[in-house]
């Protein structure tokens, strides 16, 4: 049965949610599921904005058919060729024989890479930056947003209703719970964390390109943002833009300390706990601690984007970094984190080397300040290390 929602005069949400999925992109835990948003505009011409993942495509077909109510589907605008949004292209071309695809040249090339559909040129309208498509009452302007996840990405601005179809930008993990709009929920309490984890992990590396897209968006009057995942925005859009501005410029949202530790027997963990307590006693309020063996790196990376300071504490492991910590560090390096104050703590029973190796992984990141001293454990915390940890706590507080 259809599950569609009218979201403005001529526009319908026709997407779906998947709560069975364990890992988004087979990488990121999504305990609250994820939504795949798809939008259908009924004008003189009918326009579908993106399809969905296979997981909910049956719902999509029912929804589209229900809203069309016997009409033909004229256009499918493809903002992004990642399979979580384009899995149903082939099916739709078969179901709607006069359907035309609207996408960038790069996306058109990718259709051939993902599907065996032969020559689609007669069924494709290739658009460029600034092109406009009139659908009757509505005029749709296309805005390219390369690397706001993938190179072929574009956004659509409905100049009639001032709606921005933002592709993966402004999205979030989390299935829809009936409410479609951010203003219908306590977004800061219930969604911001997943929205930040989504942005930082999925698009975080491409801050420069996101900044370019935000500059283009700044020139538009936007009454509603329709992203491909998560809730839609029609109020308080400035608040969301501010978050995006911070994330994409690698500016901490808040002063605070993330302590990520990798420990086998618990001694490095003990040192991390001692440091956290000392920071708290020195007045630091935002302290988030993570055992890298217990918490998926996507959560820790997200917090590293949120806060100003990150401490990495690791045992030495086979003359290297503890595996889960190494994984986290490579993830942070791959996502281009910048402008943070960081510190290390190491442990090793015969030759502690992990701090140097951890620093090497993060070496190329821009504008990272490394604090001293470097507390070094030779198995367990001894009075000399308590002193070093206290000195590090002092240095962290002094730098805040």
Ligand X SMILES: Cc1cc2nc3c(=O)[nH]c(=O)nc-3n(C[C@H](O)[C@H](O)[C@H](O)COP(=O)(O)O)c2cc1C
Please tell me whether residue 294 binds ligand X under the rule CB under 6 A: no
Q: Which does residue 81 touch among Fe ion, ligand X, none (CB within 5 to 8 A, set by kind)?
A: none
Please tell me whether residue 108 binds ligand X under the rule CB under 6 A: no
**Could you tell me which stretch among 12-20, 157-165, 346-354, 383-391 binds ligand X (CB under 6 A)?**
346-354
Q: Which of 190, 148, 151 is nearest to 170 (CA)?
A: 148
Q: What is the DSSP string of 194-212?
A: HHHHHHHHHTGGGHHHHHH
Which residues contact residue 159 at a Cβ distance below 8 angstroms, ignoring those fewer than 6 apart? 132, 138, 139, 140, 141
Q: Which of 22, 188, 264, 334 binds ligand X (CB under 6 A)?
A: 264
The structure tokens 């060729």 sit at 81
CA 184 to chain centre: 22
The structure tokens 């569609």 sit at 4
Helix segments in 18-126, DSSP class H:
57-68, 83-86, 89-95, 105-114
CB of 326 to ligand X, least distance (A): 13
CB of 329 to ligand X, least distance (A): 17
| Other beta carbons within 10 Å of 203 | 24
Please tell me whether residue 289 binds ligand X under the rule CB under 6 A: no
Smaller CB separation from ligand X, 51 or 268: 268
CB of 316 to ligand X, least distance (A): 4
Q: Which of 307, 297, 192 is nearest to 250 (CA)?
A: 307
Smaller CB separation from ligand X, 236 or 319: 319
CA distance 132 to 156: 9
Please tell me whether residue 82 binds Fe ion under the rule CB under 5 A: yes
Please tell me whether residue 268 binds ligand X under the rule CB under 6 A: yes
Q: Which of 169, 257, 311, 315 binds ligand X (CB under 6 A)?
A: 315
Q: Which does residue 84 touch among ligand X, Fe ion, none (CB within 5 to 8 A, set by kind)?
A: Fe ion
Q: Which of 25, 265, 277, 356 binds ligand X (CB under 6 A)?
A: 265
CB of 293 to ligand X, least distance (A): 10
Q: Which of 211, 251, 349, 367 binds ligand X (CB under 6 A)?
A: 349
CB of 32 to Fe ion, least distance (A): 16
Kindly tell me the burial class for residue 294, based on how many C-beta atoms sit within 10 Å of its own C-beta (0-12, 13-18, 19 or more).
exposed
Smaller CB separation from ligand X, 308 or 314: 314
- By CB under 6 A, how many residues form the interface with ligand X? 19
Q: Which residue is nearest to ligand X (CB)?
A: 348
Q: Which of 134, 319, 367, 369 binds ligand X (CB under 6 A)?
A: 319
Strands (E) in 318-384, as ranges, are 320-321, 341-347, 369-370, 376-377
The structure tokens 């935002």 sit at 286
Kindly tell me the burial class for residue 318, based on how many C-beta atoms sit within 10 Å of its own C-beta (0-12, 13-18, 19 or more).
exposed
Question: Which sign does the torsion angle of CA 266, 272, 276, 278 carry?
Answer: positive
CA distance 156 to 165: 5
3-state secondary structure 125-166: EECCCCCEEECCCCEEEEEECCCCCCCCCEEEEECCCCEEEE
Please tell me whether residue 149 binds Fe ion under the rule CB under 5 A: yes
Smaller CB separation from Fe ion, 96 or 233: 233
Q: Which of 74, 168, 269, 331 binds Fe ion (CB under 5 A)?
A: 168
User: How does DSSP classify residue 371?
Assistant: P
Please tell me whether residue 84 binds Fe ion under the rule CB under 5 A: yes
The answer to whether 268 and 345 have CB atoms below 8 angstroms apart is: yes
Q: Which does residue 268 touch among Fe ion, ligand X, none (CB within 5 to 8 A, set by kind)?
A: ligand X
Smaller CB separation from ligand X, 302 or 316: 316
Q: Which does residue 18 touch among Fe ion, ligand X, none (CB within 5 to 8 A, set by kind)?
A: none
Please tell me whether residue 79 binds Fe ion under the rule CB under 5 A: no
Please tell me whether residue 352 binds ligand X under the rule CB under 6 A: yes
Smaller CB separation from Fe ion, 170 or 344: 170
Q: Which does residue 315 touch among ligand X, Fe ion, none (CB within 5 to 8 A, set by kind)?
A: ligand X
Backbone angles phi, psi at 304, to 5 degrees: -65, -30
Binding site for ligand X (CB under 6 A): 263-269, 315-319, 347-352, 379
Binding site for Fe ion (CB under 5 A): 82, 84, 149, 168
């Amino acid at each position: 049965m259809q599950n569609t929602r009218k979201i403005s005069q001529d526009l319908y949400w026709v997407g779906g949610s998947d709560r069975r999925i364990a890992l988004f992109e087979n990488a990121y835990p999504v305990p609250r599921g994820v939504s795949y948003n798809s939008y259908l505009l009924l004008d003189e011409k009918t326009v579908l904005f993106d399809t969905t993942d296979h997981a909910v495509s049956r719902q999509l077909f029912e929804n589209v058919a229900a809203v069309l109510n016997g009409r033909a589907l004229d256009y499918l605008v493809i903002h992004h060729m990642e399979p979580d949004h384009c899995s149903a292209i082939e099916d739709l071309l078969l179901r709607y024989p006069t359907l035309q695809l609207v996408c960038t040249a790069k996306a058109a090339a990718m259709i051939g890479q993902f599907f065996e559909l032969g020559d689609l040129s007669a069924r494709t309208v290739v658009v460029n930056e600034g092109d406009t498509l009139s659908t009757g009452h509505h005029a749709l302007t296309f805005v390219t947003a390369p690397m706001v996840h993938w190179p072929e990405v574009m956004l659509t601005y409905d100049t009639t209703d001032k709606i921005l179809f933002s592709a993966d930008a402004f999205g979030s993990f989390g299935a829809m719970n009936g409410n479609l709009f951010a203003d219908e929920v306590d977004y800061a309490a219930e969604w911001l964390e997943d929205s930040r984890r989504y942005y930082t992990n999925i698009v975080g590396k491409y801050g420069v390109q996101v900044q370019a897209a935000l500059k283009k968006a700044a020139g538009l009057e936007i009454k509603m943002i329709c992203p491909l995942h998560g809730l839609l925005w029609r109020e308080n859009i400035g608040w969301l833009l501010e978050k995006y501005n911070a994330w994409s410029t690698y500016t901490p949202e808040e002063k605070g300390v993330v302590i990520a530790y990798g420990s086998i027997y618990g001694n490095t963990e003990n040192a991390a706990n001692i440091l956290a307590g000392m920071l708290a006693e020195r007045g630091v309020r935002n302290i988030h601690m993570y055992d890298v063996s217990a918490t998926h790196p996507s959560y820790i990376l997200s917090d590293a984007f949120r806060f100003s300071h990150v401490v990495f504490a690791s045992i030495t492991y086979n003359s290297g970094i503890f595996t889960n910590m190494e994984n986290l560090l490579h993830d942070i390096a791959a996502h281009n984190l910048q402008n943070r104050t960081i510190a290390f703590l190491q442990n090793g029973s015969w030759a502690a080397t992990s701090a140097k190796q951890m620093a090497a992984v993060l070496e190329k990141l821009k504008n990272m300040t490394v604090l001293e001293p470097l507390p070094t454990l030779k198995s367990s915390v001894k009075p000399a290390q308590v002193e070093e940890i206290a000195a590090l706590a002092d240095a962290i507080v002094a730098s805040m």
